[in-house]
């Protein structure tokens, strides 16, 4: 896919994110990538239980049914949907295309470094099937929330892209490009702000592999030639391949699309999980009344949570948002404070990601973890 396509600069940026081209991104447009959700009759949203069977039917070579069967695999997928390590989105078409409302599905999951190490050291076809099989067996390779906090604070997080496909036979070229843009921006929005380390993906067809390699997002690892030579007559199709993207390789090209994704800034606010929940919901434009319904809180509790948040910001980073205060030191009104805080976290998604938070001695707030 080529960058530009005669669109406005924000669209061109999204194409770069999907293509991984090493063109530099104009920082004026970078945040627009994260905010694009709708494009010419299509939109992306988080996948839900009710979407799963239709989404997995788009391309069953990514579904991981091969080793445990479809019934157990679907049960694992449903469990993944409830995991904090899982990120999944569907692309919806309105009106439906060919009788299908869901025309694209993308998903990834944070996994243990040991799992990625093993897959890279012994490349074999069936990455998703092995992941599904091991989760079904109860092996702890999917990171829990504490492991995500730990990795996001210290060593970094490894990701397996477990699904990325679309109903291309139903899409004209322009619609296909628009869908790919939405898929790319969804992936970025779900992962930017995390301390990304490695992203692993198995292409399950020749076209899939060519596309992945030509985007320059991924480095080719293996076509599994050794496996096929040692296991003649195995059931896996011969055009599968394994690719990887690493932080070191991405950051070696400063200003590139993938460098933006892998670049990590330390959060300054060190927010509670409750603060992150409030801010994430408020970023969607909800009023306090709507926030109270969404968060299942009384209206007074929402207002109290805002006041506590402002106080913690004053304690932890008094110089971070000086515009919250007038020249005489008086606080501005709540809506203005909220506007400044939301503008900051919108441009600093790392503030909304799980981290380990240590106690601050001598402050009005002392937090042991982001879950308090």
**CATH number where 281 lies:** 1.10.10
Task: Check whether the bond before 26 is cis (ω within 30° of 0).
Answer: no
Distance CA 189, CA 45 (A): 11
Q: Which helix (H) or strand (E) holds 261?
A: helix 257-262
Same domain, 197 and 318: no
Distance CA 275, CA 246 (A): 31
Same domain, 325 and 188: no
Contact between 102 and 91 (Cβ < 8 Å): yes
Same domain, 33 and 170: yes
pLDDT tens per residue across all 372 residues of the chain: 222 222 333 333 333 333 333 333 333 334 444 445 666 788 999 999 999 999 999 999 999 999 999 999 999 999 999 999 999 999 999 888 888 999 999 999 999 999 999 999 999 999 999 999 999 999 999 999 999 999 999 999 999 999 999 998 888 888 888 888 888 888 988 999 999 999 999 999 888 888 777 766 788 999 999 999 999 999 999 999 999 999 998 888 777 767 888 989 999 888 888 999 999 999 988 999 999 999 999 999 999 999 889 888 888 877 776 665 555 445 556 677 888 889 889 889 999 999 987 655 444 333 333 333
CA dist 369 → 86, 262, 273 (Å): 21, 24, 8
Contact between 218 and 261 (Cβ < 8 Å): no
Q: Is 5 left (phi over 0), alpha (psi -120 to 50) or beta?
A: left
Q: In what order do the strands lie in the sheet with 42-46?
A: 38-39, 42-46, 86-97, 100-111, 157-166, 196-203, 241-246, 219-222
Same domain, 24 and 152: yes
pLDDT at 331: 53
Same domain, 242 and 136: yes
Closest CA to 353 of 229, 288, 270, 289: 270
Instruction: Give the three-state DSSP class for 102.
Output: strand
Residue 211 phi/psi, 5-degree rounding, is: -60, -45
Residue 371 lies in a domain: no
Residue 2 lies in a domain: no
Residue 370 lies in a domain: no
R_g (Cα) of the chain, nearest Å? 22
CA dist 100 → 50, 91, 97 (Å): 14, 11, 5
Same domain, 281 and 229: no
Same domain, 182 and 305: no
Tell me the HSE value of 138 on the side-chain side, using a 13 A CA sphere.
0
Residue 283 phi/psi, 5-degree rounding, is: -65, -20
pLDDT at 326: 52
pLDDT at 39: 67
Which residues span the domain enclosing 289? 273-352
Contact between 42 and 90 (Cβ < 8 Å): no
Closest CA to 50 of 75, 78, 76: 78
Total structural domains in the chain?
2
Distance CA 293, CA 282 (A): 12
Same domain, 183 and 94: yes
Distance CA 55, CA 47 (A): 9
Same domain, 236 and 277: no
Distance CA 76, CA 52 (A): 11
Same domain, 241 and 303: no
DSSP letter at 22 equals: -
Calculate the CA 305 to chain-centre distance: 27
Q: What is the CATH number of the domain that holds 220?
A: 3.40.630.30
Output the CA angle 326-331-334, nearest 5 degrees: 125
Same domain, 75 and 195: yes
């Amino acid at each position: 896919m080529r960058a530009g396509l005669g669109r406005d600069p924000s669209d061109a940026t999204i194409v770069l994110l999907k293509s991984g081209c090493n063109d530099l991104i104009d920082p004026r447009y970078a945040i627009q990538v994260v905010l694009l959700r709708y494009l010419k009759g299509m939109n992306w949203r988080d996948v839900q239980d009710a979407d799963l069977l239709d989404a997995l039917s788009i391309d069953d070579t990514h579904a991981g049914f091969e080793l445990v069967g479809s019934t157990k695999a679907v049960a694992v997928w449903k469990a993944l949907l409830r995991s904090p390590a899982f990120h999944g989105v569907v692309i919806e078409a309105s009106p439906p295309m060919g009788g299908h409302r869901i025309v694209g599905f993308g998903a990834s999951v944070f996994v243990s470094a040991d799992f990625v190490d093993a897959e890279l050291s012994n490349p074999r076809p069936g990455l998703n099937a092995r992941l599904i099989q091991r989760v079904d067996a109860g092996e702890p390779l999917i990171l829990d929330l504490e492991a995500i906090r730990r990795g996001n604070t210290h060593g970094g997080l490894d990701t397996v892209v477990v699904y990325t496909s679309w109903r291309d036979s139903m899409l004209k070229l322009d619609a296909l490009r628009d869908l790919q843009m939405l898929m790319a921006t969804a992936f970025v929005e779900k992962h930017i702000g995390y301390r990304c380390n490695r992203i692993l993906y198995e292409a399950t067809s020749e076209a899939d592999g060519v596309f992945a390699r030509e985007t320059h997002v991924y480095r080719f690892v293996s076509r599994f030639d050794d496996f096929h030579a040692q296991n003649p007559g195995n059931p896996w199709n011969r055009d599968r391949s394994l690719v990887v993207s690493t932080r070191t390789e991405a950051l070696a090209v400063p200003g590139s699309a993938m460098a933006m994704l892998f670049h990590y800034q330390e959060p300054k606010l060190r927010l509670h999980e409750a603060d992150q929940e409030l801010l994430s919901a408020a970023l969607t434009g909800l009023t306090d009344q709507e926030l109270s319904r969404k968060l299942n809180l009384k209206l007074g509790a929402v207002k109290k949570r805002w006041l506590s948040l402002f106080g913690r910001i004053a304690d932890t980073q008094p110089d971070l948002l000086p515009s919250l205060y007038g020249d005489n030191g008086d606080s501005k009104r709540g809506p203005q404070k909220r506007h400044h805080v939301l503008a900051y976290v919108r441009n600093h998604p790392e503030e909304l990601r799980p981290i380990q938070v240590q106690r601050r001695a001598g402050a009005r707030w002392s937090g042991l973890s982001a879950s308090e």
